[in-house]
Structure formats: structure tokens, C-alpha cells
Structure 1
């Protein structure tokens, strides 16, 4: 399996570690941002794609009225299982689904949302075509993507640390995939190729990534994401060593004890 194929595999220990560490380090502030953009809209049915372990799903369920139906999908059933184990404020339908071939009829939803999932789609325009097909006319598609890796300080530090640890074939998952789809003109072109005719509205939102120790983001990035798969492909015995190297690099840059780093993302809204 190629590195890019591995990039979308969230199985084994990844779902649990993703939820335990990565959600608080990166995803919670942006989940609230995404849900807030839907709160004022009149909605009946909302689809979330690439829902992961459900941090955005939980925000949606806490903000939207109880009569709004939420369907959360993800390619990886283990991620949905982790989300179901946590639950939501009101019932959510969870379904395994490929974002590039959604199992829904045309115009079924008022809104489609995706938090930090678009970067993982192998064919962006194809996924965008599906995100345009399933909402009704007048509906909306809202999604977030990470900005360039230099604007996401913990991810940048981890990537540099692993380049030193594994110099012959450094793992580039973070720069390649989650922090690799940030160029606005590329995103706009892919949306147009997916059939959207409206102009997207893009906001660049900076936030703070906080943890009580450098080990937490090190575990989050090295073991709670498919970066773990890439490290194990180099040497199955080295995820622990890689995590420790990342933790040491983060501590050197941000200090011992509680740490605080910049994160930044684009939030894109486009009307259907």
C-alpha cells in the first residue's frame, strides 16, 4: 500500500488516540466555528462527511435544534464506532460512506459539512461533486482545511523532528496530506470542477493549540493519525521512539510543562 493509500486508513489504535489527544489539541475550536456557521440557518437535515470520531458532530448536535436530523458519515467504520461510544446530545445517524460516492439521493440535505476531511480525499473534485449533488438548491457546503504546515506549529515541529530521526526516508504525512491542501486558488478550482458555480467565501482562522505537556501533541500526531502507519512502514519498532523524539522537539521549542502553539485553518462556505 502506498503512502497516499495509508493516509486515509484510521484503524487499530488510531481512533482511540485520535479522540483522546488530537481532538483537544486541534479540532475542538474549529468544530465550534463550523457549527456556529450553521446555527442561524433554517435546517431540517444535515450531512457530515469524514466525521471521524465525532467532534464536529457533537458541536452540531449541541447547537442545532433537536428537530434537525444529522447524518454523520466516514470512510473508516472504527472512527464511527469511536464516535458512537461517546454519543451526542440528541440522536445522530451514523453510516460508513465514501465521500466520493455518497449513498444518498440528490437534494436530500439542507447543508453538507466537513471538518478537516477534504484533505484526505484522493479526488477532490469528485468529492466536491458529491457535496454539491446531495444538498438541495439553496443549500450550503461548509468545510475546513488546515493552512500550510508552517502556520501549524506543533505539526511543523513534529515533521522536522522525524526528518532528523528517519533522514533516509522521512515521514511526510503531515505536510503531504492534512497540511498539504491549503492553496485557495487550488481549492476554488476543485470546487468549480466539482460543479459549484457560486464563489466560495473563505475565512482564515487562527487559534491556539494547548496541552499540559509536550508528550500529548507528540502522541496525537505520531500515534493518533496515519503518520503512525508511515512510521511503522519505515520500521515497525519505532513509533515509540518517534513519539519521544517529537515530544523532545516540542519541549525544546515551546518549553517544559504546559505548552501553547499556533494552529491555523481555512473555513470555506459555498452556496449550492
Structure 2
């Protein structure tokens, strides 16, 4: 993963939240929120919160006295998340690195992370930090995307943008969001971090957009794929969106589009 893969700045948070979140993130956020809330935790830590889709899903499910600390490494994304959230005195917003958390050990009943582990430069360290945060009996709940071939729009966009830069195709989507899908590896890294009980469920869902262009715009302008395109030639950004739109429309139609998405949902404890 390159440093550029972690940069969610400029207009990316806006496109991410308005287009990417409803496209692929909301349904999985609801799943994680249900899992977290099931144990009625008194204290929850969220890492890599992004634009706050999980925060918005989870906060209403926590009891009135719960403490909810929401963190992200990227301050612009955290600011965007806080601005979207209704006023809630239980929530504390904190810029923090998931690999070096500034909280006392055994401070939380649940640590949760929505599609963030793929961005950790050292996942074992990130998992070790999550375990350090947990009280006895606590749970680490997170999800990661399955391989890109199981996620229709991401694969369509990747192939389409490659035609714009055939000698140096941008690889962000396959490399980072969809680059950590090996269930055996996930289990092994969690065990190395000290987790003994690990449950992994692969969940397929349907991604929907009002048009092929909305889906293409979401991926090309609402993720660090934009950084890769602009680093090659910013003047070709519009062409990349056009090619991605055409690729999605060829497979999924001209009107409202729907495609398969698939992710692993993980609960680790012990």
C-alpha cells in the first residue's frame, strides 16, 4: 500500500459520503452495528471511522449511559463525520492512529472498525492495539472486503481506468480495499495478536446506484483512486470517469444499476 492510498482529502470526503457510502457501505454498517449493540456495551471504541457511516448506524442502538469514542487517522474525514452526526453527548471525536491508540488498556467493551483494517500499515500491530483496549470478555468486531472479483463495480472500474493508463494502470482498488481478503491470513494475524476465538462470516449483498455514472463517480472521485489518476494526468480524470461509466453500463444497464458486493465480517475475542 502506498502513502497515497491513505489520503482522503480535498473533495474526496464529500464524494465518498454522498456516493460511496450509500453504494457499498450502509448495509454492512447496519450489520456491524447490530453485532456491537447485541451485548449492550458500556464503552465502545471505533477506529478508522471514515465519514461516520458506522457511527450513524451504531449510536442510536447504544444505551443512554454508553461511552462512544470515535477515531480516525484522517482529520478531514473525522471532521466530515462529526458534522454529519446529530448532537450526542455520548460521542467523543478523537484523531487517533489505530496502530498507536492514546487510551488506557482495558478501557472498552467493544472495539469496532468498518472497512479500515485493509489500510493498516501493520495489521498485527493494529489488532494488538485493539486487543489491548478490550476489557476481559470484550470483542473486536470489524469487516474487510472480499477479493475484487467478487465486487462487480470495483472490478468494472479497475479494468476501465486501466484503459486510460495502459502502461501504468492505477491499482488502488485491487491493492488496498480488496487486497486483504484471505480468510486464513486474517485468522493467522488475529491469532498472532493474541485473539483466541475468531468467527468469520462472508456476506454477499447488492450494491445499487441511480445510474452507471453515479457508481463510476463514486469510485473515481470518492476514493484515493482519484489520487492515482491525478498523479498520472489530472487532465484525464473526466475521461477515466467516462470509461468507468461505460464499463458499468455495458454490464449492468443504462438506468439504475445493481451489482454484487461481498465482504468478510469478523468477531474476535479471547
Common topology (TM > 0.5): yes
**Contact 2:161–2:240 (CA under 8 A) maintained in structure 1:** yes
Q: Shift in Å at residue 87 of structure 1?
A: 1.0
Identify which range, 111-120 or 36-45, moves more after superposition. Answer: 36-45
Q: 2:193 & 2:11 partners in 1: Cα distance?
A: 34
Q: Secondary structure at the match of 2:28?
A: helix
**Contact 2:40–2:63 (CA under 8 A) maintained in structure 1:** no
Q: Shift in Å at residue 219 of structure 1?
A: 1.0
Match of residue 25 from structure 2: 27
* 1:53 maps onto 2:51 in alignment: yes
Cα deviation digits, residues 240-267 of structure 1 (max 9, x gap): 2111111111011100010000000000
1:126-205 matches, within 5 Å, as: 126-196=125-195, 198-205=196-203
Which residues of structure 1 form unaligned runs of 5+? none
C-alpha RMSD of matched pairs (Å): 1.1
Cα deviation digits, residues 34-56 of structure 1 (max 9, x gap): 00112220311100000000000
Q: Secondary structure at the match of 1:236?
A: helix
Q: Secondary structure at the match of 1:17?
A: helix
Cα deviation digits, residues 137-196 of structure 1 (max 9, x gap): 110000000000011000000001011121100001000000110101111111122222
Match of residue 118 from structure 1: 117
Match of residue 230 from structure 2: 232
- TM-score w.r.t. structure 1 length? 0.96
**Contact 2:40–2:62 (CA under 8 A) maintained in structure 1:** no
- Number of residue pairs aligned between Structure 1 and Structure 2: 269
1:87-102 matches, within 5 Å, as: 87-88=85-86, 90-91=88-89, 92-102=91-101
Cα deviation digits, residues 80-132 of structure 1 (max 9, x gap): 11111111363321111111101111000000000100000011101011011
**Contact 1:214–1:258 (CA under 8 A) maintained in structure 2:** yes
Q: 2:44 & 2:197 partners in 1: Cα distance?
A: 21
Q: Secondary structure at the match of 1:250?
A: helix
Match of residue 69 from structure 2: 71
**Contact 1:66–1:90 (CA under 8 A) maintained in structure 2:** no
Q: 2:39 & 2:113 partners in 1: Cα distance?
A: 17
Which residues of structure 2 form unaligned runs of 5+? none
Identify which range, 33-42 or 76-85, moves more after superposition. Answer: 33-42
